[in-house]
Amino acid sequence: MTETTGLLPVDESGPFLRLLGDRVREARARRGMTRRILARQSEVSERYLAQLESGQGNVSILLLRQVARALGMPLSTLVNDEPEPPVELTRTVELLRRLTPDQLAQAREHMVRSLGAVDTGERQGRIALIGLRGAGKTTLGALLAQRLDIPFMELDREIEQESGLSLGAIFDIYGQAGFRRLERLCLDRIIERHHRFVLATGGSIVSEAATFARLLSACYTVWLHASPDEHMDRVIAQGDLRPMAGNSQAMGDLQRILRGRESLYKGADAEIDTSGRSLTESLDDLLEILPHA
């Protein structure tokens, strides 16, 4: 006789809970959050998060999934706290789900061209740099803007100016969700107000799908990256000891974050490896790959 958990057989619940745990862990890694930070912001104990990430989550999610299946709808739709999307959006999403990755890329390009989301020339005049801290976004971004004689902005500084708070205070008071709302607000404002600029973004902007999609559709995006050792050395050389403070596993955390975000960073229009390169060499590399630079 098959053992059951609630109404769901254990042999089916196990893989689902492991997948759920993997997704929580990967989402946390992409956002650069420790389990302790996630526990504090979600008001869920670290012990429960550890169980969830190891594939031993609460059985109630399994029962909820059964309700969703009985209703013939995805679990994500059932638990979504946003208003129900238009029927045409739901149909379009279901169509896109059946496409291969290559077909998805073609579909996106077609929609951008046919719907006129952003003029191609205008997009190329807006240059956004993405990547982990220590990749050179701020330093190279400022030099590039000076060379092209266009404004240089840092998205994190715009967020601080908008809120009147430091990033640390924003996370303490409003949490991850509050920061993401400010990030999107400031990004939209920059895009609406400026036709040409160089923008250095925060390393975790890729973890918020809608905001990253907005960035990709409106800006020519370049992923700057280096080896993990160089990332860490550069951050510390700038006087920022946060990666090492009270964390003997800092390098492991950095590598975990990079693994979690790498596939997202690769969505950029171009990428440059700044490992072992001088500022002048990296700037030349950057100018070479930019369209109409």
CB 141 within 8 A of CB 187: no
CB 286 within 8 A of CB 222: yes
**Which domain, by its residues, includes 14?**
4-79
Residues 128 and 188 in one domain: yes
CB 274 within 8 A of CB 225: yes
Instruction: Quote the distance between the C-alpha of residue 171 and its chain's center.
Output: 16
What's the domain count of the chain? Answer: 2
Q: Can you say whether the dihedral through the CA atoms of 52, 56, 58, 64 is positive or negative?
A: positive
Residues 258 and 155 in one domain: yes
Q: Which pLDDT score is estimated for 113?
A: 61
Residues 192 and 66 in one domain: no
* Nearest Cα residue to 17 out of 42, 68, 51, 44: 51
Q: Which pLDDT score is estimated for 243?
A: 44
Residues 199 and 280 in one domain: yes
CB 258 within 8 A of CB 32: no
Assign residue 46 the CATH number of its domain: 1.10.260.40
pLDDT digits (tens, 9 = 90+) for 133-167: 888 899 999 999 999 999 999 999 999 999 999 99
Residues 11 and 124 in one domain: no
Residues 8 and 143 in one domain: no
Residue 16 is assigned to a structural domain of this protein: yes
- Partner residues linked to 197 by β-bridges: 126
Has this prediction a pTM greater than 0.75? no
Encoded amino acid at 207, one letter: S
Answer with the one of 17, 49, 79 that is the final residue of a domain.
79
Rounded Cα–Cα distance for residues 85 and 70 (Å): 20
Answer with the one of 50, 79, 108 that is the final residue of a domain.
79
Residues 190 and 248 in one domain: yes
Q: Which pLDDT score is estimated for 63?
A: 66
Q: Which pLDDT score is estimated for 146?
A: 95
pLDDT digits (tens, 9 = 90+) for 60-82: 777 667 666 765 667 776 666 66
CB 114 within 8 A of CB 97: no
Residues 265 and 125 in one domain: yes
Residue with the bigger pLDDT between 218 and 259: it is 218
Phi, psi torsion values for 4, nearest 5 degrees: -120, 155
Residues 156 and 250 in one domain: yes
Residue 113 is assigned to a structural domain of this protein: no
Residue 70 is assigned to a structural domain of this protein: yes
Residue 187 is assigned to a structural domain of this protein: yes
Answer with the one of 47, 79, 111 that is the final residue of a domain.
79
For 201: left if phi > 0, alpha if psi spans -120 to 50, otherwise beta; the answer is beta
pLDDT digits (tens, 9 = 90+) for 165-179: 999 899 888 888 889
Assign residue 156 the CATH number of its domain: 3.40.50.300
Highest mean pLDDT: which range of 115-119, 193-197, 262-266: 193-197
Residues 189 and 251 in one domain: yes
pLDDT at 10 over 60: no
Rounded Cα–Cα distance for residues 211 and 185 (Å): 9
